[in-house]
Structure 1
């Protein structure tokens, strides 16, 4: 850590060290994290003057799809304790939007002694984390000069506004997009790290990715979840865990979870766990379909009325008479001539044939049946095929577009209002997949439309030369193959300038040329509307809980100063500060939604809730009710089990060996899958999972969360015994991409042949030395090879070996 960051710890008033038992002149030790017990008297010559405690509404704005509310209690300009929402009324369905333990620990983030406090510039190599303090004027000049230089020399396509999700609050991060678009724009991006595969794949089937809200499970008889683990990842009152629990209590549906891990969702919500080899979910679906078809459990009327491609009679003209239908594939009459029986699937999935048959019969006879998938199954090699395949179960059984059913997609919900800072349009039409930005730095001009998914042009004309990164640890920590990414970023002739705003010196921040200390959303005017919210939408609005500490500044104030140096401040600010923008955006929303409270009322109450007038969100209901009046956004207007559009992509795109795109939603073996010859060297499959102690990497430095939920490698006793590994021992996990040292959790809660560690742990490695990560960061071991259709991250498809140290 640099001298400037160390010296600030001597600053007592307003510092976090003051809360760790430091003696204060005129009084005894006090704790910012644990207040003195009632009745404890301070000693000293004079009694300090106590200020009144104030309560400010705020929210946890990290990317867990929750957006839970917080009430922050402030005294003497410090957050002294935090509670969550206590204003809802469950009796009327307007439930409390209560935060999980992550959000409730936000005080330790706000007051953390390692928070960034001053602007700094890099003085060592990228990735070394060596910085020196500079003035804000130097920082403004440095940013303006480099941005202008790169725009002039390379043009706006060389600028990259990095994918980041540490601050999901629409009145904050949008300022950066506004600023960039006013300066000619930047290279565009499509997709995300979380759900690019499912977002890319499902429109070929449904024309959309839509799903029922899982509050609608109250109407289900059976719920089958593929890799869905909301109990750990979305535990707050704004998340699906609340709605799932309420629906199960009221409706009593049976729940089956299919997952390589006996997750907390399985432990607390499921009636049955079906462990499965990672990346083979589509093979399980194929075998379930075989039983459904063989035993006449499919909904023939639904398939005939709403679908294209189930059997020969419903095939498009271009594919008739060629045995290309879904039914032909399943029954062994297609090109591979292999019947997809439960016995066939058992050899692939590890799930017993009898279990598959029983599952199929339950799905086929339960009316209605809700099929959901989490985002884990699609984040695999060839994961787009898996995403579409899982959706075939509700299609085959006619559970689409009805209460108690689902499309097979992940979760959706009720949204009644959207509002954000106006950003304008990006003048640059060229786009790349979000995950492929390292390729665009390393060999951008080699990237093409047909081989790499470039959109808007046939090929990139310039590499990425500058990165804006706001509130994101995705430069390294949340990206793949950190060691290779490190090599690319260290070459300053490739990407010439990186500016990062963050609250900590994260692993990604170590690669900044200019590192700027940010304020948290609760430390500035803030609002957020719900992400996922089931059958109740909401808005949370708050004011800054404390004054800015040290030299931290808001993103908006920094961009305003840079805009001033570039001669566009008036255009950028329109004469508004952050508070004025907050009011402006809200009032614009009220013009479209007159039911919203006034701005003053919203500030006073903090939270506004609204129930879904339809009771529960049901995806494709209008289509189900009247398919002619409400066609889908597919070429045929129907559910396209067989996609001619994908057939054309297969014929024209340049796909690497092992990359599979099929016009049918069927099983496609993946690279580094269970049957890859590489298993002779690296015999264990290693998917990651989203961990309850973090939201991606957010909260990854909070001590109590790390103590409550330590980073561990799950390994089955069978695999541990053969390697001489005992529970709690440190092991090394390795492949050709890197090595991680981590504690072993020996447990039967994971399938033999599979190990797993939670994603998001902070990377801790000597990148000038052995590069061994001792922080438990899974992306030391993941691949930069994108999936074929979405060109997205396959971060759950990894082959590794584990050895005792």
Structure 2
């Protein structure tokens, strides 16, 4: 039964019951309640980008969802525990039945961003897409088509894979590398450890139980990894064992602290590299480094392991001590001392010395587990920040051993579930995920050396440069809100998208009228997870427990929504590639094939008939506990890294080349450097000129009430988790602010209105705002003020130097009472 018929019927029955109830002479037999149909029970999952893919138990009656439960079907003991969904997954019924649910195809009839649409048929929608997309490819080539970053639905069979598969059959699209979460970490890991994948292949969290000290640098699992199979539960259980001490470095006193930590060190955003250099100074000057480890496994710490012809002055040790004599520990005038770092970070010099000593003391007789958060890589100089933090386990020799970590994100347990094959992309050029607005504006002039364009070497000129052939003319956005909301500088992004002479066609496929959907030319309504059959595995941050969930449905598809496989099959038919797209297989053929492949990869997985009832299959550490770079530590010759030297590159040879040859924009303070270096950066604490106008550092964070921007349209979650900008009581007093005041937060890029939370859980001089609130500014509001409180109204589109990534946690702002709040205060 479709929901609209259910609602009509409910209204009719309610009215009839009311009339009968008013008649004392009504025939009792005629008013007897009709017995309810039995509930159906299906399993689904929450597939947003938190990294867990938690199972959900869906109860429905007559095609209507009646309630949602989570995994409680088995005995619950840690190591064989239930995979319980967090508050977001448990609220998914409200999300499915949200008032802004997309029900049928629509075409835009007003300016982009106005949200003005009219309903059209599926045939008209698909014919229009075929005509527009085909015409753009014919005129500008496949390089003119682009997918914006899209992580709102982690299907295995359905979802975005089908659109990529279709485009590859049509000749491809302009590729992209990196992502908003980890873009700079990928590059830091690549040039240090030899592989981008090592950014998220750190030691398993289980190795914390073998550590004596856990140093968490911005890492906050209790708010971003809340799944019952996730890192928050693993951390809590291991931390409660009392095996290790925990030190948390973060501008906010997060829920991962709250008494669970042994020490909290508040630090100014974007200055972590300065802290690392001060620790390095103490370790070097006090002779507390593991010199044997550095000599054996690393390149470029000092004169012993620098590449031939590179002087000692280019080494990391020389940089930290600011001297040019390898035999001397005498610091120069610009040595990276704790006193130097204290002025930058806000951490007292004595505290930095104590931290260095504690790390060294622990490493001498025990194990140190260093965990770096992805938040550190979302700053203007995030690549160097991550590389600088990598130096802590390297100098201590705390890598490749039980109880240690490289600093990378922890490896999660995993079981395999196949994904829809997408094929290969015939277009061999790509840009950073973050520079797509630049490619819309002026893509034909984007180059390798200036803008980070990637292309085959045989297409480069004698100087190693090359460029795109065209700008982006068509955008496909499937289950993604980075078209406007999650990208930076929303006001500027809106202006770019509204110029239809540049980007000529935008297709959005989603479940809800998100801020990004308001900028589409054609909007297609997708099915939700609760209306889908799929087999999905745990996400990338499932912690120590691996899962497979067999999704099924008794409630859809609702309205006129269609799944991506059916839609892309119809488009493939129009483009003449249907046979290649489907390979002659129905939806059920693909699903049965994938289940058989999953059973072969996971021998304990029950038959599908069993899983349709059971829903969840789980294993605790099915591959055992992973220790990052264990094989390399045991035998570096037999297991070399994929770096030019085969070693960990503190001095990265490829970065030395980029440092000499890449063309950075005039005025960009952040640099590409061969060794990790703290770099003052625009909109950072040391940007004194900007800070005179905008004195507060504003950083973003993940809230419990959203996953990025997903779930923002669920009223329960907006009530449960307040959207408010955090400010320290000292800063609030200067501005006459109290908790729950409506304030304006602004800089040169834009202005938002949001509530304020006055709390000592944020350090002075710093403000923090949960990212992902839906943009309500620009064309939609008829003005520039964003009353939705979207952080990206205030963030910059300037790419970072190496990864060309997003520095969206680096912002300077001012905060004051909103006009209506100021008037109210005056009246009082």
Q: Does 1:572 align with 2:562?
A: no
Check conservation: 2:342, 2:348, Cα contact below 8 A: yes
Check conservation: 2:491, 2:778, Cα contact below 8 A: no
Q: Does 1:83 align with 2:83?
A: no
Query: Post-superposition shift, 1:800?
Result: 0.8
What does 1:622-771 align with in structure 2 at a 5 Å threshold?
Answer: 622-656=631-665, 657-676=668-687, 677-767=689-779, 769-771=782-784
What does 1:595-606 align with in structure 2 at a 5 Å threshold?
Answer: 595-606=604-615
Once the two structures are superposed, what CA deviation does each residue of 1:98-157 show, in whole Å capped at 9, x if it has no partner?
A: 110001111111122321111100000000000000011111111111111111111110
Q: Secondary structure at the match of 2:815?
A: strand
Check conservation: 1:216, 1:247, Cα contact below 8 A: no
CA separation in 2, counterparts of 1:533 and 1:517? Answer: 30
What does 1:259-274 align with in structure 2 at a 5 Å threshold?
Answer: 259-267=250-258, 269-274=260-265
Query: Mean alpha-carbon deviation: is it higher for 665-674 or for 600-609?
Result: 600-609
Matched residue, 2:322: 332
Matched residue, 2:541: 532
Once the two structures are superposed, what CA deviation does each residue of 1:603-627 show, in whole Å capped at 9, x if it has no partner?
A: 3422222343553111101111111
Check conservation: 2:50, 2:541, Cα contact below 8 A: no
What does 1:95-244 align with in structure 2 at a 5 Å threshold?
Answer: 95-172=81-158, 173-208=160-195, 209=198, 210-244=201-235
Query: Post-superposition shift, 1:408?
Result: 1.0
Q: How much is the aligned-residue C-alpha RMSD, in angstroms?
A: 2.1
CA separation in 2, counterparts of 1:559 and 1:613? Answer: 36
With over 3 angstroms needed to count, the CA separation of the structure-2 counterparts of 1:27 and 1:651, relative to structure 1, is: farther
2:809 is aligned, of 796, 801, 804, to 796
Check conservation: 2:413, 2:623, Cα contact below 8 A: no
Check conservation: 1:431, 1:455, Cα contact below 8 A: yes
Q: Does 1:787 align with 2:786?
A: no
2:243 is aligned, of 247, 252, 262, to 252
Check conservation: 1:382, 1:661, Cα contact below 8 A: no
CA separation in 2, counterparts of 1:220 and 1:547? Answer: 49
Check conservation: 1:220, 1:251, Cα contact below 8 A: no
Query: Mean alpha-carbon deviation: is it higher for 561-570 or for 124-133?
Result: 561-570
With over 3 angstroms needed to count, the CA separation of the structure-2 counterparts of 1:44 and 1:379, relative to structure 1, is: farther
With over 3 angstroms needed to count, the CA separation of the structure-2 counterparts of 1:790 and 1:294, relative to structure 1, is: same
CA separation in 1, counterparts of 2:518 and 2:174? Answer: 23
Q: How many residues align?
A: 782
Q: Secondary structure at the match of 1:314?
A: coil
What does 1:479-558 align with in structure 2 at a 5 Å threshold?
Answer: 479-530=487-538, 531-558=540-567
Check conservation: 1:229, 1:265, Cα contact below 8 A: yes
CA separation in 2, counterparts of 1:567 and 1:132? Answer: 29
2:5 is aligned, of 9, 13, 22, to 13
Query: Post-superposition shift, 1:300?
Result: 1.9
Matched residue, 2:267: 276
Matched residue, 1:356: 352
Query: Mean alpha-carbon deviation: is it higher for 334-343 or for 226-235?
Result: 334-343
Matched residue, 2:825: none
Once the two structures are superposed, what CA deviation does each residue of 1:633-683 show, in whole Å capped at 9, x if it has no partner?
A: 111111111111110010111112212111112211121110112111111
What does 1:302-451 align with in structure 2 at a 5 Å threshold?
Answer: 302-319=293-310, 321-333=311-323, 338-366=334-362, 367-451=366-450
CA separation in 1, counterparts of 2:231 and 2:97? Answer: 30
Matched residue, 1:38: none
Query: Mean alpha-carbon deviation: is it higher for 573-582 or for 772-781?
Result: 573-582
With over 3 angstroms needed to count, the CA separation of the structure-2 counterparts of 1:593 and 1:383, relative to structure 1, is: same
CA separation in 2, counterparts of 1:23 and 1:754? Answer: 56
TM-score computed with the length of structure 1 as normaliser: 0.94
Query: Post-superposition shift, 1:411?
Result: 2.2
Matched residue, 2:785: 772
Q: Secondary structure at the match of 1:635?
A: coil
Matched residue, 1:616: 625
Query: Mean alpha-carbon deviation: is it higher for 245-254 or for 54-63?
Result: 245-254
CA separation in 2, counterparts of 1:88 and 1:342? Answer: 52
Check conservation: 1:215, 1:246, Cα contact below 8 A: no
Check conservation: 2:474, 2:505, Cα contact below 8 A: yes
With over 3 angstroms needed to count, the CA separation of the structure-2 counterparts of 1:343 and 1:707, relative to structure 1, is: same
CA separation in 1, counterparts of 2:375 and 2:412? Answer: 20
Check conservation: 2:247, 2:264, Cα contact below 8 A: yes
Q: Secondary structure at the match of 1:24?
A: helix
What does 1:436-475 align with in structure 2 at a 5 Å threshold?
Answer: 436-456=435-455, 458-475=466-483
CA separation in 2, counterparts of 1:290 and 1:177? Answer: 49
Check conservation: 2:156, 2:417, Cα contact below 8 A: no
With over 3 angstroms needed to count, the CA separation of the structure-2 counterparts of 1:82 and 1:791, relative to structure 1, is: same
What does 1:290-305 align with in structure 2 at a 5 Å threshold?
Answer: 290-305=281-296
Query: Post-superposition shift, 1:299?
Result: 1.5
**Structure 1 segments unaligned to the other structure (5+ residues):** 1-7, 30-41
With over 3 angstroms needed to count, the CA separation of the structure-2 counterparts of 1:411 and 1:602, relative to structure 1, is: same
TM-score computed with the length of structure 2 as normaliser: 0.91
CA separation in 2, counterparts of 1:563 and 1:233? Answer: 39
CA separation in 2, counterparts of 1:655 and 1:384? Answer: 15
CA separation in 1, counterparts of 2:234 and 2:218? Answer: 18
CA separation in 1, counterparts of 2:320 and 2:566? Answer: 59
CA separation in 1, counterparts of 2:670 and 2:285? Answer: 31
**Structure 2 segments unaligned to the other structure (5+ residues):** 20-27, 326-331, 460-465, 819-828
With over 3 angstroms needed to count, the CA separation of the structure-2 counterparts of 1:28 and 1:716, relative to structure 1, is: farther
Query: Post-superposition shift, 1:596?
Result: 3.8
Once the two structures are superposed, what CA deviation does each residue of 1:516-545 show, in whole Å capped at 9, x if it has no partner?
A: 111112211122212223333221111124
Query: Mean alpha-carbon deviation: is it higher for 375-384 or for 413-422?
Result: 413-422
